[in-house]
Structure 1
């Protein structure tokens, strides 16, 4: 048999009548030479087989650099499979089974005696026990499960044969604490096996050199670009007419007939939504429009039971489903060849996310990937035009690794103490090999050691926080079996609100499980209330032992669960592309179908005010019966706008006693004062100064309360708070109370505790995006301030007013108010406004408690209510 670097790979490709791409051959050659690297290639172009076949070439061929136990392609079936040789890290459990099937195919065809195994949170106890005796030749696992394996006392022996590690979808891990957890695990494995080959795979990374550096630090490797010509088609499903006064939050269900038509025209379609709430509503709407599709369409999101998700994924693979309404649960790498079309409901919020979802269709080399954007309001039509330009120019968002998260470090120290123990000096040098801890100081290290040994300065008297102790030889270990058990159950960096299991109620016991739902939603319901879940209308029967028991409901009115994280901010790359489209429109350029459709809206905006451009910052000031309004349009995303609005309000309040109501969306912000404000006096470059920015931002917000909430996640990761044993998990309220107690104790008795500092840093970096805020402030100072006094609410200001109204009104009253306001504004704007067919009501996504409906004024704004002080 040939022993050239690509022998096995070329044999397998030839058997399938495939021709390898140049990037695949580059990876095969690099792996053969023992090089590490990052492969960046289009979704569906063959990244998996580039790296996997490279591993087989090197470690399953004759003459490879391998031990005497190495299997040969000619090995007899009775021979034991090779020991653990390749670790394949996947960011999602849902990808593991699909990845394992893809890796198995070449083994079967080439007669290679390797075994493939899965190790995730879904792995059965019997399979875990089998792996405890002998790990498979290639193990597909997650960062959390890999860390758990490293806590085994015999971990070094178990990984002794490991030769290669692959990180799939590296972009999904790079920018968060799960990626940091993986960096630390890699540092340990490299310490044991300095020649370990490491490869990352990604399709959507804007800063590839940084991603490569983080993955391979402190070493270096090869960056391979998979420049495969793949047709990526992006288009927009345009409504017949548009609203000139749009608002975010309604679901665009008037596009339902066109969506159904698009689904009908393709064999299999994925319908992506940004939230699980949206997916539930759209699934019901599509099924209501086409009852004959019952059994042919399905729902898929992360809160559904694993059995349901497995059934949906199998149906997609077999081409048995006409459509699946889904969320990010199907964003990544699962290979569904029958999928022809992808529909994106609403704004994708980012270029990378849209490209990732587009790649779910035509998921094979040479096939066209197509995504169709379905705007849910008029401004999203502009976003659709901007997204097409951004994708064509490959303006992909950058992702940066976190810097020195100490909660992850503390967790890692206890894990390593379980995995055979550690010596502080040796582990310190090892941890600094991880990119995120490359600048870890000795002071920080000593603090972390003291924290795991006796809880630090303020918890010394409590035995529960004496987790690690040195023995007589200086080896640090976990002396308590109870502490070891609790730590293993808490390993991981994903922290979410407590969830309840949803089960059918049955006499004599519970029925089958439907999935999980956030405790905060169920807490607002009473027995007998109806809600949508898993595509079904359910009635709540009772709540007991972290389980919500339900029965099928026959009523029509239902609440829709809302899971956290539903409001993703618009990315800088997509926002900049939107501003470019608006700038072109201000110059009279409406060159695409999308921009020609929204021309009536933009003409009204220009007649009454102006449009934001690349060189101007649009500000609108208005006096209504509510008070004095300022509308500002930086186009920097809702997180930045919240920080900016609070900052501006606080700075003005230092010179004049004012109270403000604040509203933000992805495009701009509104400040409303019930007392007179001379906005023209205040809107100067000094208001947007970066001097003392950090101090002013912290002073303008209730930063202490934000840090307290953030501390709950940190306390759980660092092992201060235990979330409970299976079947007896603590509620979100209990966890928040426990972490809040630690927060108060540390602030009073241990103010120098580094976990407090981390909480404040994470609030600034993640919740307020302070770096992006600094960039925005710098950009705003360079733009010309374009101030326009307006007589009535403009098309861009209207959605900001709706954001403020929705906080105090029920969905029905809000819809009535909006209809009345739109009618008034459309009348003022002249002919050409959108009229709902048959007087159709406006659907509202957000539901709040009903309030008394205030009267509207002639200009379409509500009468004033008591203003609230800016946070």
Structure 2
């Protein structure tokens, strides 16, 4: 069959469904059948599964004309998905097409949720298309004779590539693909990505910068103009001194009519704790929603999550309060309305969430934005513009992740073993390791066989043996088993399961939250108030509680920061607000009009900075002397900037500070007055000696020590434990700290030790962004305002610091008193 005949089969199938293939789908079919590799840029819900599964099937029909009578067994294509929740959806779509054109091809899933029975059957006979995750693919590479499994592989599709890019799971994929290219001779590699700023680079990372695959590749964009309308939920009465205390809950009555008027609604919160609070409050205030509203986040047990996903599909639920656990995929056609509670911190995330509504080609997406405090309306106004311009973030790929390389080499050594001479060019061909030197490579080989200079005396670090013919191989069954159990790059805090005393699994919770509670304490989880009875072997045993007050779990993921793109949009909007306050309300967005009373009050007490201005406010309260700085750069950058400035001021005169920060600015609070003139005269916002000062100010060694725990786990230097018998987080921490100290004192050129510092600066402190912020401030005119009392801009930062110290009831009372005195 020629290409036209093959395409005709697909087009006929499409028209039988009452569909018409999009131009981008046909382009992808053609490119794939021309043996090209590529990256497909298409929004969620646009038919991207059929853009790539269809040509894979057609290619099979072309190579096997007698496919109806003779079936060619074996794995032909792998579909990688970063989220298990997506796999069922893809399986159903793929199997439907394969069956209805009578291709005889089979589709199977292999993830952490796949039962052992199914895996054993797959070992004997692989499906034609395997849907799997990056971790499960590595597990396949760790099994004996994996090369035979992959010998006739024709295609690898990496779905949601933008989610993997810029993470170590992405590095895992790069390494796996470098191996598959050698093992499978006729391989085509395709990625599917939503819009990101650096699409060209995304294709380069996927295929390898100078590889043949990259030379013979294409980037296909689905130019489907999606109409997105952003509607802000604006409170009727604007408080002049906004604070974040109630997480937007005071607007719950504005949300209910939206839920009632829609068939289905998703309410996105930024953190799991906010998700729990919103669900609780909705149920408490509107008991008639019982059975119609559910909750979905990553810590709730799998059965409940799957039930919620299914209930949305068949519209038996009216609304779901959720976190980013529903950001991606899970193709629910009928979701009608999206409500975003609080700033989404990034444009791409906001667009992705908006795309869950009207989740069909050509449909309009509607997203309501609910501010958790008034100043977030500036974010809403900025997002309106971002949606018009489709301004989205870049995803920055990792470079030289030696921990992932150590894990990968051990994986190969566990299966068939490897010859360094053969593997070295493959590794060098990946984006992540294009800059690896021969010396670093030799160090890594030395590390996996001898366990680095300072650990040579300990056998447990000598994992790989070198056989007579030079083959690097793991021969110890215990080492092989422990390695397989620990394959992966997602290192979270240890997670404990939450169960009722009488049995009944509720979900999982991070150890660092539970370790702060004592038996008898009540906390909110999965929409219920639970009393902690005891913690026993990685299980949190609880009973239901009738108590009204409770602690809400916070998860480490709760510290989301502004993306660089979002910060820039926010600053632009801020400058627009400054200009518009002067010009009255002509031509302004609804959000800025609503903010007018706050902006006028800010202007009266201080100023709203313009584009060429950097604002510093100082005032005195009962708590001490406050200095507030407004870079509008997001909380990670402000945390680093605050520490840096505090350190530099302390060099001029001995003074100690407590630091508070949010996405807009940071505060230095002291019991003695800061000589601000001295700060300005000494140019303390200089980017000179930045690394050196950061190192000293932030206790970078402590941060690197924490980062090293993850590196040690990924590189297999510490073992996390067997299933149901995991090692406690504090033991992992102490084992990895011990190793960190050994390297610090005896082997400070250890590549994994050095990596912990590099990652701390590059990824955690965003040193590049920090440097750019300092350079920007350096060129701005610094305006120092001595204020009588807190201003509307400074109020959210001050109240954020109080939250750390006070319970929520005491905090509300305290803030009411503060507001009263400020309003006077």
The normalised TM-score by structure 1 is 0.91
2:571 to 560, 576, 579: 579
2:642 to 635, 641, 645: 645
Where 2:683 maps in the other structure, the secondary structure is: helix
Q: Deviations over 1:9-68 (max 9, x none)?
A: 212211112122211111111001011111112222222211121222222x2xx2x3x6
Q: What is the distance in 2 between the residues matched to 1:505 and 1:677?
A: 55
Q: 2:226–2:363: 8 Å Cα contact kept in structure 1?
A: yes
Q: 1:546–1:728: 8 Å Cα contact kept in structure 2?
A: yes
1:183 is the counterpart of 2:184: no
Q: 2:245–2:812: 8 Å Cα contact kept in structure 1?
A: no
Could you tell me which residue of structure 1 aligns to residue 101 of structure 2? 110
Q: What is the distance in 1 between the residues matched to 2:612 and 2:394?
A: 24
1:225 is the counterpart of 2:221: yes
Where 2:501 maps in the other structure, the secondary structure is: strand
Could you tell me which residue of structure 2 aligns to residue 700 of structure 1? 697
Q: What is the distance in 1 between the residues matched to 2:233 and 2:249?
A: 13
Q: What is the distance in 1 between the residues matched to 2:506 and 2:85?
A: 17
The 1:700/1:149 distance shift into structure 2, 3 A limit, reads same
Alpha-carbon offset, residue 340 of structure 1: 0.4
1:313 is the counterpart of 2:304: no
Q: What is the distance in 2 between the residues matched to 1:308 and 1:666?
A: 34
Q: How does 1:393-792 map to 2 (within 5 A)?
A: 393-506=389-502, 511-588=503-580, 590=585, 591-684=588-681, 686-792=683-789
Q: 1:81–1:114: 8 Å Cα contact kept in structure 2?
A: no
Where 1:721 maps in the other structure, the secondary structure is: coil
Q: 1:608–1:790: 8 Å Cα contact kept in structure 2?
A: yes
Could you tell me which residue of structure 1 aligns to residue 13 of structure 2? 12
Could you tell me which residue of structure 2 aligns to residue 214 of structure 1? 205
Q: 2:3–2:33: 8 Å Cα contact kept in structure 1?
A: no
The 1:667/1:286 distance shift into structure 2, 3 A limit, reads same
The 1:445/1:629 distance shift into structure 2, 3 A limit, reads same
Where 2:453 maps in the other structure, the secondary structure is: coil
Q: 1:8–1:56: 8 Å Cα contact kept in structure 2?
A: no
1:39 is the counterpart of 2:40: yes
Q: Deviations over 1:193-217 (max 9, x none)?
A: 2541111111131111111110111
The 1:71/1:747 distance shift into structure 2, 3 A limit, reads farther
Q: Deviations over 1:399-440 (max 9, x none)?
A: 111010111111011001112111112111111111100111
Where 1:736 maps in the other structure, the secondary structure is: helix
Could you tell me which residue of structure 2 aligns to residue 287 of structure 1? 283
Q: What is the distance in 1 between the residues matched to 2:592 and 2:729?
A: 46
2:268 to 235, 252, 272: 272
Q: 1:81–1:137: 8 Å Cα contact kept in structure 2?
A: no
Q: CA RMSD in A?
A: 1.6
Where 1:779 maps in the other structure, the secondary structure is: helix
Could you tell me which residue of structure 2 aligns to residue 50 of structure 1? 51
Alpha-carbon offset, residue 662 of structure 1: 1.2
Alpha-carbon offset, residue 684 of structure 1: 4.6
Where 2:558 maps in the other structure, the secondary structure is: coil
The 1:349/1:496 distance shift into structure 2, 3 A limit, reads same
Q: How does 1:97-176 map to 2 (within 5 A)?
A: 97-176=88-167
Q: 1:81–1:113: 8 Å Cα contact kept in structure 2?
A: no
Where 2:259 maps in the other structure, the secondary structure is: helix
Alpha-carbon offset, residue 564 of structure 1: 0.8
Higher mean C-alpha deviation, range 10-19 or range 191-200:
191-200
Where 2:805 maps in the other structure, the secondary structure is: coil
Q: What is the distance in 2 between the residues matched to 1:430 and 1:192?
A: 11
Higher mean C-alpha deviation, range 410-419 or range 609-618:
609-618
Q: What is the distance in 1 between the residues matched to 2:71 and 2:34?
A: 27
Q: What is the distance in 1 between the residues matched to 2:668 and 2:524?
A: 36
Q: 2:638–2:661: 8 Å Cα contact kept in structure 1?
A: yes
Q: What is the distance in 2 between the residues matched to 1:170 and 1:722?
A: 29
Q: Deviations over 1:436-466 (max 9, x none)?
A: 0011111111111111102111111111111
Alpha-carbon offset, residue 659 of structure 1: 1.5
Q: Deviations over 1:276-326 (max 9, x none)?
A: 111111112222233222222111111111111111111111111111111
Q: How does 1:274-423 map to 2 (within 5 A)?
A: 274-423=270-419
Q: 2:338–2:357: 8 Å Cα contact kept in structure 1?
A: yes
Q: What is the distance in 2 between the residues matched to 1:130 and 1:503?
A: 33
Alpha-carbon offset, residue 71 of structure 1: 7.0
Q: What is the distance in 1 between the residues matched to 2:737 and 2:29?
A: 52
Q: Deviations over 1:261-283 (max 9, x none)?
A: 11111001111111111111111
Structure 2: runs of 5 or more not aligned: none
Could you tell me which residue of structure 1 aligns to residue 247 of structure 2? 251
Could you tell me which residue of structure 2 aligns to residue 28 of structure 1? 29
The 1:12/1:82 distance shift into structure 2, 3 A limit, reads farther
Q: What is the distance in 1 between the residues matched to 2:579 and 2:746?
A: 61
Could you tell me which residue of structure 1 aligns to residue 87 of structure 2? 96
Alpha-carbon offset, residue 359 of structure 1: 1.1
Q: 1:341–1:370: 8 Å Cα contact kept in structure 2?
A: yes
Q: List structure 1 runs of 4+ shifted beyond 4 angstroms.
A: 79-82
Structure 1: runs of 5 or more not aligned: 828-871
Q: What is the distance in 1 between the residues matched to 2:306 and 2:684?
A: 54
Q: Deviations over 1:228-275 (max 9, x none)?
A: 122212111111112211123431111111111111110011111111
Alpha-carbon offset, residue 787 of structure 1: 2.1
Alpha-carbon offset, residue 354 of structure 1: 0.5
Q: What is the distance in 1 between the residues matched to 2:319 and 2:103?
A: 37
Q: 1:638–1:667: 8 Å Cα contact kept in structure 2?
A: yes
Q: What is the distance in 2 between the residues matched to 1:466 and 1:254?
A: 59
Q: What is the distance in 1 between the residues matched to 2:195 and 2:544?
A: 42
Where 2:684 maps in the other structure, the secondary structure is: helix
Q: 2:637–2:770: 8 Å Cα contact kept in structure 1?
A: yes
Alpha-carbon offset, residue 529 of structure 1: 2.8
Alpha-carbon offset, residue 3 of structure 1: 4.6
Q: What is the distance in 2 between the residues matched to 1:146 and 1:625?
A: 59
Where 1:688 maps in the other structure, the secondary structure is: coil
Alpha-carbon offset, residue 365 of structure 1: 0.7
Alpha-carbon offset, residue 495 of structure 1: 0.4
Q: What is the distance in 2 between the residues matched to 1:514 and 1:684?
A: 58
Q: What is the distance in 1 between the residues matched to 2:518 and 2:774?
A: 47
Q: Deviations over 1:831-867 (max 9, x none)?
A: xxxxxxxxxxxxxxxxxxxxxxxxxxxxxxxxxxxxx
